Amino acid sequence: MKKIHLLFFLPIFLWSQDLSELINISQKNKLIQSSQETVESIKDEYSSVKRSYLPNVSIGTSYQNTNRESQNIPANGYTSYAKVGLTLYDGNKRYNLFKSYKSYIKSSKENLSALKNEVALDVVNYYYQYLTLEAQKDAKQKEIEQLKSEGNRVKNFVDVGSATTDEYDKIESRIQSSIFDLNQIELNIITVLHTLEYVTGQEVSITAGSAIKDINANSDLKAQRPDLKSLEYNIEKLKYDARQEKSGYLPKITLDNTYSYYDRNYKDNSIPEEYKDQNVFTVNLSWDIFNFNSTGKKYSAKYKEYLSKRSNYEYQKKKADTELKTALKTYEIGKIKVKAAKASLKAATSVYDSIKSKYQNGLVDNVTFLEALTEKYDALSQLKSSQYDLEINKATIIYYSGKNVGDYIE
């Protein structure tokens, strides 16, 4: 029978996930899969572009029929051909186009890394939000338990006439208010779980106990986030795009070799057939020497876009440095907050124990007692909240410094 019970509860344990497992699951969500497909799409597009510059071979055939035969034009006939073409020089467009795609691929890869890290940070936030709410729920349940116990004690005094009903009513009112707060907390827990399910793509059951590795906030951390690297490579891409437009100022050289086979049918047998096949090799040069400055305008537009993105990159880089500094300062304040919360809990517990004893001996009224009770459990909840906030602060520093959040889970 025990084995059956164990097998029944086994899936519950298997479904519970710690922070590291939640992050691993989230890295396979649909949004990240979409970004991965984008990277592969760009790679395939680049491969196609490269192949377009290799020698191209084409074959074809045609049938012709005319009502006026001549020596050059038979009454009917077939012409078949095989053609090889190659772009020898295109004003350096090929070089800049390939460079542009390489930068584009790097940018998309960094964008994918940035998305993964952003999702990981979101999971960290939701994980500790859940644990904070669970701590609040636990504290509220203990508060309600204490209130009910005290309510039963006061009711016994009311029944024998040793206490007034208004004392009991005050406690009962506080119980109902706390039950409402508890339901609100439970609703917030459900909301966080649903959000995590959306991020991970599956149902989750959270296991407590995960933590973020301690970091050295005094070390020389720099903002080297992948989203900034993605912007940097995108700027590089735009630079090469602009240079592609300048290729319009230069000549283009192509090579063609065409082999043709002729099957001519003359009605007039006296007309001699000069040849059956022919091979033609050509070197072609084209140069747009005047197009009303269309090339210049295209280059100018691309270059201005490049300058715009570069300015945005500089702004985002400074913003990232500021965000990292703010995160470091928030972390230091968070450590102070935890110390303060511990002291507050110790003081609130001490005050509650003292007032509870005085209240039970009739030395203080129930209003003072209820306030002390609320302050105790609020202090307990605040301590847990500040401790979990500190974990989020550490993850935020890791994110803003460009490191992989998932590597710092323990």
As a whole number, mean pLDDT of residues 216-239 equals 86
- Please report the sign of the dihedral spanned by the C-alpha atoms of residue 323, residue 325, residue 327, residue 333: negative
Highest mean pLDDT among 147-156, 356-365, 377-386: 377-386
For residue 367, what pLDDT is reported?
A: 81
- pLDDT band at residue 374 using 50, 70 and 90 as cut-offs: confident
Are residue 185 and residue 46 in the same domain, yes or no? yes
* Residue 5 lies inside a defined structural domain of this protein: no
The residue count of the chain comes to 410
Among candidate residues 119, 104, 110, 126, the one with its CA nearest the CA of residue 31: 119
Query: How far from chain centre, in Å, is Cα 269?
Result: 78
- Our count of domains for the chain comes to 2
- pLDDT band at residue 154 using 50, 70 and 90 as cut-offs: confident
For residue 73, what pLDDT is reported?
A: 75
pLDDT in tens, 87-114: 999 999 999 999 999 999 999 999 999 9
Are residue 94 and residue 148 in the same domain, yes or no? yes
Are residue 235 and residue 318 in the same domain, yes or no? yes
Q: How many CB atoms lie within 10 A of CB 183?
A: 11
Both tokens of 40, joined, read: 């592969």
Both tokens of 335, joined, read: 């450590």
Are residue 398 and residue 382 in the same domain, yes or no? yes
Are residue 202 and residue 257 in the same domain, yes or no? no
- pLDDT band at residue 218 using 50, 70 and 90 as cut-offs: low
- Spell out the SS3 assignment of the chain: CHHHHHHHHHHHHHHEECHHHHHHHHCCCHHHHHHHHHHHHHHHHHHHHHHHCCCEEEEEEEEEECCCCCCCCCCEEEEEEEEEEEEEECCCHHHHHHHHHHHHHHHHHHHHHHHHHHHHHHHHHHHHHHHHHHHHHHHHHHHHHHHHHHHHHHHHHHHCCCCCHHHHHHHHHHHHHHHHHHHHHHHHHHHHHHHHHHHHCCCCEECCCCCECCCCCCCCCCCCCHHHHHHHHHHHHHHHHHHHHHHHHCCEEEEEEEEEEEEEECCCCCCCCCCCEEEEEEEEEECCCCCCCHHHHHHHHHHHHHHHHHHHHHHHHHHHHHHHHHHHHHHHHHHHHHHHHHHHHHHHHHHHHHHHHHHHCCCCCHHHHHHHHHHHHHHHHHHHHHHHHHHHHHHHHHHHCCCCHHHHEC
- pLDDT band at residue 162 using 50, 70 and 90 as cut-offs: confident
Distant-in-sequence contacts of 350-358, Cβ < 8 A, 24+ apart? 351/375, 351/376, 352/376
Spatial distance between the Cα atoms of 156 and 154, rounded to a whole number of angstroms: 5
* Residue 6 lies inside a defined structural domain of this protein: no
Q: What's the mean pLDDT when you consider all of the chain?
A: 89
Are residue 392 and residue 403 in the same domain, yes or no? yes
Are residue 318 and residue 366 in the same domain, yes or no? yes
* Residue 227 lies inside a defined structural domain of this protein: yes
Evaluate whether 183 touches 133 at the Cβ level (below 8 Å). Answer: no
pLDDT in tens, 244-292: 999 999 999 999 999 999 887 777 666 666 778 899 999 999 999 998 9
What's the domain range around 97? Answer: 13-54+90-250+297-408
Are residue 354 and residue 262 in the same domain, yes or no? no
Last residue within a domain, chosen from 225, 260, 286:
286
Evaluate whether 26 touches 127 at the Cβ level (below 8 Å). Answer: no
Spatial distance between the Cα atoms of 319 and 164, rounded to a whole number of angstroms: 63
Are residue 263 and residue 185 in the same domain, yes or no? no
pLDDT at 219 exceeding the cut of 70: no
For residue 334, what pLDDT is reported?
A: 95
Are residue 184 and residue 71 in the same domain, yes or no? no
Spatial distance between the Cα atoms of 220 and 311, rounded to a whole number of angstroms: 26
- pLDDT band at residue 160 using 50, 70 and 90 as cut-offs: confident
* Residue 291 lies inside a defined structural domain of this protein: no
* Residue 277 lies inside a defined structural domain of this protein: yes
Are residue 75 and residue 194 in the same domain, yes or no? no
Both tokens of 168, joined, read: 């009991």
Are residue 94 and residue 165 in the same domain, yes or no? yes
For residue 268, what pLDDT is reported?
A: 67
